Structure 1
Amino acid sequence: MSSSIDAELASWGDRMFFGMPKKGKKGAPDPRIMAGKVRTSLRVAVSPKASQVMVKITGGGKGLGAIGAHMRYISRQGKQEVGGPGKTLEVEDERGNILTGKDDIAALREDWRMAGTPIPDESHRREAFNIILSMPGGTPSDGVRDSAREFAAELFRGHRYAFVLHEDTDSPHVHLVVRAERSDGVRLNPKIADLRRWRRVFAERLQDRGINAIAMRAASRGQRRAPQPIWRLKTSSVIRKERGPERSQESIRRGRDEALAAWAQVQEILKRSQSPQDQQLANEVSKFVERTLLPGKVISAGGANVGDDARGPKRSR
């Protein structure tokens, strides 16, 4: 029974969470390992204090001129908040070196020029990727920075990269810039599946530090608004704007019904398990669904009793 439960949980993992391992060159992952990852993700997801991670590629420099400009931007070079002309925030590179001041940033840019295939001032291709890793307000900034450090070391081994923590907005976030070409000449070319895996890895590194972070698909968590826009992470918290319009009621209802069906299947699988921990997790899943996706409603594995709620789902917290 245990192996069957593990296999069923593993099969549902990628439908609900970002970046779950899939079949690779060496064959399918061990269902027990997969099921363990799903259980961990479920426990974090159903916690009332769970927070969704954000990992986004925001652009990338085509040439050293653009790369240098981005390095100056993320280091806040010359801004009053860091002390004025010549001053910067602390920037950390892949070797753990701490760089401060305009001379260090200029040296970093020039190091990148010849760190592999030379990068011209202007290029026809993307020579670096600009990435933001963010968590909601209230998340410990040190935890975000340290998790980002491990995230980069794990995913961009062999690349030159640099990162800096920003605490000037409501959400602590890290700007990470990665040289596209690896030391062996292979170039970074991220796809959607890679971004999903990046979100999962970032969430896991945060979880290692006791931070309730999760990388879950929007429908699975009952989200009805778009994620926090990038401008909020690039603008001082003094500036405020209202969020954009919510999704249509039809879109909300369709996403909610799909999410309810998925959660119901997972709950049913856990309830069939002989493990007391799985039984407890099934109860926590039920409570999560009631307070997040459809308050006051009972779900079934077949998706019955979903009902209509003119208000739409509550916003996930």
Structure 2
Amino acid sequence: MNDLSRSRSASKPGSRRLPSYFDLIEDELRRRGGGGGGSAKRSTFTNSGLPSAKHPGAASAFSRAAGNNAVVVKVLSYGAGASSARNVLAYQSKEEKARDQDGREVTDLSAAVRSWEREFGNRKGSQDILRLTYELEKANREHLGRALASLAEDGFRQPGDGDRTYAFSVSEGVKGQTRLQFALVIAHEKKDRSDRSSANRIPAEIDDVRAIDERLDKVLRGAGITPVSRYPAEFSSGPKGLTATLHAMQRAGAEVTLSTKTHLRDRPGKSGRYERGGERREVTTKDHKELTAEGKVVGALMQTRQPRDFMHLLLSGPANVDRDRFILAGRDFLREQFEGHRYSYAVHNRNDLEQHPHLHVIVALRNASGKMLNPNIRDFAEWRVRFADKARERGIPIDRQKRLERAGPPPVKRWEWEMFRRMGATAPSNVVEKVMSKLRDTPTAPKREEARTRFDQSRRSVGHVIRMLDGIAKDRGAPSTARELSQDLSIGLRREYGRLKTAVREGRDPT
């Protein structure tokens, strides 16, 4: 019996149980079909009282009209290394202790981190920045700058490779010598953020490092600068690694010169655009904040290859759900879906009945046999369906409907919200429209053909159900309870029907 029929049954005196709403509809279908009712007529509804998967649009509409929330299963982030795992484990356990894949309570955070560290503690990030340090005979900074600029024009790894970002600093070395610290971006630097190529990446192999070192040595000697010794090569990973390298070169008050073709082009009324190309620009500074800002500009177009050791997963349910049964459903889903993987989960908002309860889960992507989990959008859709099924097995009416099948507002990414909050009306028009649609709960028209097809199917299903309900509500021969409930549910379905029509037609709220 659904919540709607339960509330009406409770208001009647006496101990006789009134038939549920869906019992009455099935009686009506059997009556119209003639005789005792065939199995074909009865198969329209499931044991849970909802239309079957044969009519997904109708099932979704009934579920939404009854107040059931769509299940939320999404990846909040990916991470690499034990320190990142520690942060997630500490966050997920902020309200109550987590439990691992064996159901054991995680009481010692340090011990848990050590166990995760055994899984991927020796993993390293991609090697994107090469750092070479030399001891030179007494040298002049201007001469060094000109020598490096001439090599940048020709190419650090080979002739023609002249677009790379590099940086250098000059400070006092040992025994009165000059210390040169040189950093080179060996990762592929994209032309803009839409660039998906990686042809310009230099492998972090010993032969490539030796080739760069030989070309650097040759150009320095050609400028009359004699290298005395070189320290071991160092590598760093990603935009943060670039910024950390620049900061390390700036220690002891040394000025750092950054030379790059990456720049942030201003656009009136819009956010800036990161581009690579045109003339080189040089920035020489010892200011910590300026180096950080320049590192972020270069890092925005750096194609890094960070490893993924684990994912931070969120399972969320509606605020009015039975918390204990919801947690058991989440446990069942994790045990079945991630068998063989290390994971731990913890509950947030268990006792705050006004908030949505949710599970924060950390899952190792590599299982015990070494197989790597690489989830994509199809996996997320499948996980959503499986989690909803587990919830329904526990008696929780969670809607397993996909976002494609809803006439809901578009999801807003964190960076879009931050940009809108910071820039307001001057933010890019597409970001403003997206955020305002979310705030106003405005449905948007689907862009993919698959989504349009599903919207049309849902629209037809909802329309069919509304017509059936109207027929029951106007049928004087039907029980009064069936007529009243049909009219109530028809109102809710009409709202859904209107949202679907609006979304398919123009993506705007009729009001």
TM bracket (short chain): 0.5 to 0.7
> Does 142-151 or 89-98 show the bigger shift?
142-151
2:436 to 245, 251, 262: 245
Q: Cα 1:225–1:95, aligned 2, differ >3 Å: closer, same or farther?
A: same
Per the alignment, residue 80 of structure 2 pairs with 62
Q: Establish whether residue 114 from structure 1 lines up as the match of residue 121 from structure 2.
A: no
1:254 to 440, 445, 469: 445
In 1, Cα distance between equivalents of 2:413 and 2:324 = 21
Per the alignment, residue 399 of structure 2 pairs with 214
1:177 to 362, 370, 375: 362
In 1, Cα distance between equivalents of 2:323 and 2:454 = 32
Identity of aligned residues (%): 21
SS in 1 for 2:445: helix
**1:198 corresponds to which letter in structure 2?**
W
1:150-202 per-residue CA deviation (whole Å, 9 max, x = no partner) reads 11111101001000000168211100000111111101100110000111111
Per the alignment, residue 67 of structure 2 pairs with 49
1:226 to 404, 411, 420: 411
Aligned residues: 244
Q: Cα 1:176–1:248, aligned 2, differ >3 Å: closer, same or farther?
A: closer
2:333 to 151, 166, 170: 151
- Equivalent residue runs for 1:64-79 within 5 Å: 64-76=82-94
Per the alignment, residue 316 of structure 2 pairs with 134
Bigger radius of gyration among the two: 2
SS in 2 for 1:202: helix
1:290-317 per-residue CA deviation (whole Å, 9 max, x = no partner) reads 132318xxx9xxx8xx98897439xxxx
1:245-298 per-residue CA deviation (whole Å, 9 max, x = no partner) reads 11699x8463598666212444689999xxxxxxx9x99997654132318xxx
- Given that residues 91 and 163 in structure 1 are in contact (C-alpha distance below 8 angstroms), is that contact kept between their aligned partners in structure 2? yes
Per the alignment, residue 263 of structure 1 pairs with 458
In 1, Cα distance between equivalents of 2:369 and 2:82 = 20
- Given that residues 407 and 444 in structure 2 are in contact (C-alpha distance below 8 angstroms), is that contact kept between their aligned partners in structure 1? no
Q: Cα 1:75–1:287, aligned 2, differ >3 Å: closer, same or farther?
A: same
In 2, Cα distance between equivalents of 1:164 and 1:105 = 13
In 2, Cα distance between equivalents of 1:166 and 1:248 = 25
**1:110 corresponds to which letter in structure 2?**
R
Q: Cα 1:141–1:70, aligned 2, differ >3 Å: closer, same or farther?
A: same
SS in 1 for 2:363: strand
Which protein has greater RCO, CA pairs closer than 8 Å, 6+ apart?
1
- TM-score, structure 2 as length reference: 0.40
Q: Cα 1:193–1:294, aligned 2, differ >3 Å: closer, same or farther?
A: same
Per the alignment, residue 209 of structure 2 pairs with none
In 2, Cα distance between equivalents of 1:110 and 1:93 = 14
- Given that residues 445 and 505 in structure 2 are in contact (C-alpha distance below 8 angstroms), is that contact kept between their aligned partners in structure 1? no
* Gap regions ≥5 residues in structure 1: 7-32, 77-81, 83-88, 231-242, 273-279
Higher strand share: 2
Per the alignment, residue 276 of structure 1 pairs with none
In 1, Cα distance between equivalents of 2:507 and 2:84 = 49
In 2, Cα distance between equivalents of 1:135 and 1:229 = 21
In 1, Cα distance between equivalents of 2:404 and 2:510 = 12
Per the alignment, residue 510 of structure 2 pairs with 312
**1:65 corresponds to which letter in structure 2?**
S
In 2, Cα distance between equivalents of 1:219 and 1:312 = 20
**1:165 corresponds to which letter in structure 2?**
V
In 2, Cα distance between equivalents of 1:120 and 1:283 = 64
Q: Cα 1:98–1:248, aligned 2, differ >3 Å: closer, same or farther?
A: closer
- Runs of 4+ aligned residues of structure 1 deviating over 3 Å after TM superposition are 33-36, 38-44, 121-124, 225-230, 251-260, 264-272, 282-289, 306-313
- Given that residues 129 and 180 in structure 1 are in contact (C-alpha distance below 8 angstroms), is that contact kept between their aligned partners in structure 2? yes
In 2, Cα distance between equivalents of 1:228 and 1:136 = 21
CA RMSD of the aligned region, Å?
4.5
- Given that residues 54 and 199 in structure 1 are in contact (C-alpha distance below 8 angstroms), is that contact kept between their aligned partners in structure 2? yes
**1:263 corresponds to which letter in structure 2?**
S
